[in-house]
Amino acid sequence: MIPVQGYSGAKVSVLGLGRSGLATARALREGGAEAVCWDDNPTARETAEGEGFVCRDLSRHGAFEDIASLIVSPGIPHLYPEPNPVVAAALEAGVPVDNDIGLFFRSFATRQWDSFETMPKVVAVTGSNGKSTTSALIHHVLSEAGRRTQLAGNIGRGVLDIEPAEDGDVVVLELSSYQTDLARSLTPDIAVFTNLSPDHLDRHAGMGGYFAAKRRLFAEGGPDRAVIGVDEIEGKYLAGQLSEGAADDRVMRVSTERKLTGVGWNVFARKGYLSEYRKGRQAGSIDLRAIKGLPGAHNHQNACAAYAVCRALGLAPRVIEAGFASFGGLPHRSQIIAEQDGVTFVNDSKATNVDAAKNALSAFKNIRWICGGLEKEGGLGDLAENAAGVKKAYVIGREAASFAMQLKGVEAEVCTDMETAVAKAAAEAESGDTVLLAPAAASFDQYNSFETRGEDFAACVADALK
């Protein structure tokens, strides 16, 4: 646990008592503060009270009179589409609003660090797609190389739930736009921007607000080194803002669309080969084609970003390559869950938006595509244009019929539920086919999370293959 610094003897309110909220309350108490908690869910309040925390209805008049700060869980809106009433009350009372990420960055470093030979580092990864895989891959490579490392944030443990730093530690954080948008302190040593595509637009009032939330990771604290995906205009813009010139190797540019061989520090992947160029000369390369845990161009982008971070941390190319080779991938992200009679079953339930689904469709051939769910703002766009490898789509979700109608040029069958879709896809699949779950939609019309959806897919596959 990371004890929160700066609030000893003060009362700090915590809104939202899920995983991160309870971890925040514990860390505040460990740092000498009194956590005053609230959640609209009575069961969540009972859990907190069972741990000895005081619960107070923060929506009541005068609730913030003795409160030093309000700490908000990521899922609770603080600005758009409109602030949660408790957040609005805190702002009206002049009480600072923060989240656990801000508390982590203000509390991680301690006086004990004065005795360390090698200062601990924090790597923070953000972006629309690939940030989980990139974060996990960095963590895996470091672990395989014998470096002490911890993985936290939007993946793994809550940021305040990790262990205090030891000499030479590297903490890898996956940070969503919900987390970077509100944190009052953002000071990573290395910050990563993978890419940007439309997502969470209601929460950020459009693409401009969404990009601004991601950009805060780089603008607020000024990382020592920035790894930037430059295949979208936002990445090019961000790299340009951070760099003092073409040769400034504090900014490492990453691409899977073109070669980057200029005078700076660049990493790119073309036709399955990763290349590192520094000062105009090749400094390393990896053949990514045989690495099962990193299929497709989107995972090659993740590999480029992870490679750049590991190089910035001093690892040799061959050490990084060995770590890549033993990486098994993450659950629900291009995860091979079964192979039978020449048919491969792949769970990419995390493909909750159009761009992520495009990446999944580009990574495989002869696809029996299971898709559908709660459609996100912006519709399906040009998704059908990326479906050249799709033999047939099996559409699930409450709005399966309208979803199927948007898949122009793709044979589609409305199945509605996962069991029916998997059974039909498995029965019709031939040797060489891939049955791929890549929904291109959120899960909340039928499931409480993309993980639950992916687990249901895996269970249905197991039943179909009996």
**Residue from 56, 99, 55 nearest 74 by CA:** 99
3-state secondary structure of 442: strand
Identify the band that residue 355 occupies on the pLDDT scale cut at 50, 70 and 90.
Answer: confident
What residues form the annotated binding site? 127-133
Q: Is residue 39 within 8 Å of residue 16, measured between CB atoms?
A: yes
233-241 contacts, C-beta under 8 A, 24 or more apart: 234/196, 235/193, 235/195, 235/196, 238/193
What residues form the annotated binding site for ATP? 127-133
* Domain 335-464, classified CATH 3.90.190.20, yes or no: yes
Render pLDDT for 68-85 as a digit per residue (tens, 0 to 9): 999 999 989 999 999 999
Predicted local distance difference test score (pLDDT) of residue 89: 96
Q: In sequence order, which residues have a C-beta less than 8 Å from that of residue 405 and are 6 or more positions away?
A: none
Q: Is residue 345 within 8 Å of residue 425, measured between CB atoms?
A: no
Render pLDDT for 212-253 as a digit per residue (tens, 0 to 9): 999 999 998 889 999 999 999 999 999 999 999 999 999 999
**Residues 207, 209, 210, 212: is their CA dihedral positive or negative?**
positive
Render pLDDT for 180-196 as a digit per residue (tens, 0 to 9): 999 999 999 999 999 99
5/160 Cα distance (integer angstroms) = 11
Domain ranges across the chain: 11-98, 103-325, 335-464
- H/E segment holding residue 301: helix 296-312
pLDDT at 199 over 90: no
Predicted local distance difference test score (pLDDT) of residue 378: 64
Mean pLDDT, all residues of the chain: 95
Phi, psi of 89 (to 5 degrees): -65, -40
Burial class (CB in 10 A: 0-12, 13-18, 19+), 114: exposed
State the alpha helices, DSSP H only, in 251-292: none
Predicted local distance difference test score (pLDDT) of residue 376: 78
Q: In whole angstroms, what separates CA 455 from the centre of its chain?
A: 19
132/127 Cα distance (integer angstroms) = 10
128/355 Cα distance (integer angstroms) = 9
48/44 Cα distance (integer angstroms) = 6
Render pLDDT for 298-347 as a digit per residue (tens, 0 to 9): 899 999 999 999 999 999 999 999 999 999 888 898 888 999 999 999 99
Cα angle 89-91-96, degrees, rounded to a multiple of 5: 120
Predicted local distance difference test score (pLDDT) of residue 263: 94
- The alpha-carbon radius of gyration of the chain (Å, integer) is 23
Task: Say whether the peptide bond before residue 96 is cis (omega within 30 degrees of 0).
Answer: no
Predicted local distance difference test score (pLDDT) of residue 385: 78
Q: Which fold has domain 103-325?
A: UDP-N-acetylmuramoyl-L-alanine:D-glutamate ligase (3.40.1190)
CATH number for the domain running over 11-98: 3.40.50.720
